[in-house]
A and B are shown apart, each in its own frame.
Chain A
Amino acid sequence: MSTLAFLLTQGVNALSQAALLFFLGVGLTLIFGIMRIVNFAHGTLYMLGAFIGYSLLRYTGSYWLALALAPLTVGAIGTAFELGILRRLYRRDAHAFLMVTFGLALVTGEAVRLLWGSDALQVPPPALLSGVVFLLDEPFPVYRLFLVSFGIVVAVVIWQLLERTRLGLLIRATSQNAEMVHALGVDVKLVRSGVFGIGCGLAALGGVLAAPLVTASHGMAATAVIDAFVIVIIGGMGSFLGSLIGALLVAFVQVFGNYYLPDFALAFMYLVMLLVLVVRPGGLLGKEA
């Protein structure tokens, strides 16, 4: 393989990995930014998205429909959970959130197993995205190229949402000073519910997108939640741009690291996090010290 082909291959590999990590992390960072909640259930919601996507694909035959509806479904479930249970806990300390989201993770994980069984399930990509593109004699799966493009699109959409729309303004303001926003007459509770729902929906979106690569499986949740936390911490909790940079950083380190030093594969992510936090304890773009 020529050097150029190698770099191109690895580059696309890293970008597609970054896209998946970004989808995982962005929901978590939004939730933490607004609500200061450490959501242990993030990985199980990601997994739930994959399984719901599987069912939607089976019954409608359309991957695109699954991609659209699964996040909405999980987002709705998340909002319901927030309305029913999380709302009562805002006056309490952080430990309450830890335990309640831990409980949610257990319940959701087992519910998935009861509803879909213990086996991994196939979620094939749509025919349009199933092929391979050859560049410099090297194969590039169309699905990965799609992941990268879709990731860029979603990143831009969210960025514009946060910067340009009223909703985005509310979200940013609430994350900085909820009291003031409340004093200005905005229903902060509604903003919180909405953001939690969106965060859960984004996690589920990540799950549906990952499923063609890893199948809808029960082990998804465990690795996902850790990955999400690491990305978000590296980037800085609550920083959207941070989660993007964190995803890119980890993906590139892992892809090139696994290639040259496969023995350290387990450790790369944590070493990066360690280095970043030692230098900047709040994360790269973090607001907290």
Chain B
Amino acid sequence: MQTKSRFSRRWVLAGAGATLASPYIWTSAQAQAAGTIKVGMPLALTGPLGSVGQQQKRGAEFYTKLQNAKGGWLGKKIELLIEDTAGNPAACVRKAQEMVERQDCRLFTGITLSSEALAIVPKLAEWNAIFISSDNGDGRLTAESFVPNFFRANTSGPMGTRAISLYLKDAPYKSFYALGLDYAWGHNSVQVFENELKRLGKDFLGKVFAPTGTKDYSTYVTKIRQSGADGVYLVLAGDDNNAFLAQAAQYQLASKMAMLSEQLELTAMRAVGEACLGIIASARYAFSIDNPKNKEFVELWKQEHGGQVPDQFEGEQWQCQRVFEAGIAKAGSIEADKLRPALEDLTIDDIKGQVHMRKCDHQGVQQGFIFKAAKKEGYSHPVPEIIATLPAERTTPPCNKMTYDD
């Protein structure tokens, strides 16, 4: 009896060990010659930022489906390598490294967290890989942490704040208080806002930062109310944004002052419902952006996704794929040394209007959109209603900087 169970345990252990180790032992460079162009996307599909990663995935898959039907890129089909990092930078680097070393993948996009992006970016040169960001808003990525193989197709954090500030120039509000999440993005955007207000000659009454994971915002609501400001500027995201908005509505904060936000996605609007009515926010992408290409995109998206409209990061991911497409077509190749110069000084005209990937810091120069969260026929929750569009040259910061000069 002893021997028998010992034997079966041996086999189980050996089998398990072999299964775990085998994919790595056998040499397996699946080269590009296999006939597809690989795009690596080590995303956060689960975990607190899972809903953002899921949006990026959907955006990329939708684009890939349509583009592959037209023949893909350079006549080859696009293959997305999508894996879950659960928002862990160590896992992200590991997976990206695997995609480079085992699958010979040299194109990356859709990295969800800025901490993950910052970990990946220094390795791009070593990997000879190009990374075009679709949602990383950290200003540093085109400033101090800039590397030549990095491109940003999306609106950055500073750009979102700048758009709001430009809108506020002619708005009746005179004084503001700011609440941001206590990490790099929050601090960065609030700083830009403070600088912009000074330039506009408006009053910046104070700011406070809440750590991510804060469940109870009552103290912060109290501080905001006490400030007596005309408006409060919010730099929050995800669960924290939802919690704050739900709680602020219970204090009827909106009746006391205007509420402005650096960003407000559809998932947030669905999660808090009427609590976000009346909020004025900067949109990185909104389905209600009024131009023919976007209308077409939204229609196709609705057909594919059972009537759902595309959310912020889904649209940003689509735009990012379009940038890839244009760059690869211009370069005639996916090799980093050829693709890099092709992506520089590249202009596309798509769902957000014109986007110019400029040479100096690889930022996509694009318009800013301001919307108000309003009720609309046919939707059970508030939706973005565009109230202002700001010109690209005014919204995008100077080269390699996170702040503005004028």
Contact = CB atoms under 8 A, between A and B. Distances in A.
A33 B223 CA distance: 40
Contacts, number: 114
B216 A213 contact: yes
Interface string A15-57: 0110010000000000000000000000000000000000000
Interface string B198-227: 000000000011110111101110110110
Interface in A210-241: 210, 212-215, 217-220, 222-223, 227
Contact of A262 (B46, B208, B250, B273): B208
Contact of B272 (A9, A118, A122, A210): A122
Given A13-B218, A144-B218, A214 B47 contact: no
Contacts of B47: 218
A128 interface: no
Nearest to B212: A219
Which label, helix, strand, loop or mixed, suits the secondary structure of the A interface?
helix
Interface in B221-270: 222-223, 225-226, 238-239, 242-243, 246-247, 250-252, 267-268, 270
B210 A262 contact: yes
B268 to A, nearest CB: 8
Contacts of A121: 271
A124 B219 contact: no
A281 interface: no
Contact of B271 (A17, A119, A258, A259): A119
B219 A120 contact: no
A223 B48 CA distance: 11
Contacts of B220: 258
B136 interface: no
A143 interface: yes
Contacts of A262: 208-210
B219 A13 contact: yes
A266 B210 CA distance: 9
A136 interface: no
A227 B216 CA distance: 12
A20 B216 contact: yes
Interface residues of A, number: 42
A113 B219 CA distance: 31
A141 B250 contact: yes
Contacts of B272: 122, 215
A120 B242 contact: yes
Given A222-B213, A262-B209, A119 B48 contact: no
A209 B93 CA distance: 39
Contacts of B154: none
B255 to A, nearest CB: 9
| A-B residue pairs, 8 tightest by C-beta | A13-B218, A219-B48, A141-B250, A120-B271, A118-B50, A219-B239, A214-B243, A118-B51
Interface of A: 1, 6, 9-10, 13, 16-17, 20, 110, 113, 118-122, 124, 130, 132, 139, 141, 143-144, 210, 212-215, 217-220, 222-223, 227, 254-255, 258-259, 262-263, 265-266
27 contacts: A13-B222, A16-B216, A17-B216, A20-B216, A118-B46, A119-B271, A120-B51, A120-B267, A120-B268, A122-B273, A130-B250, A144-B250, A210-B215, A213-B216, A213-B243, A215-B242, A215-B243, A215-B272, A217-B239, A218-B50, A218-B239, A219-B213, A222-B213, A254-B219, A255-B216, A255-B219, A262-B209
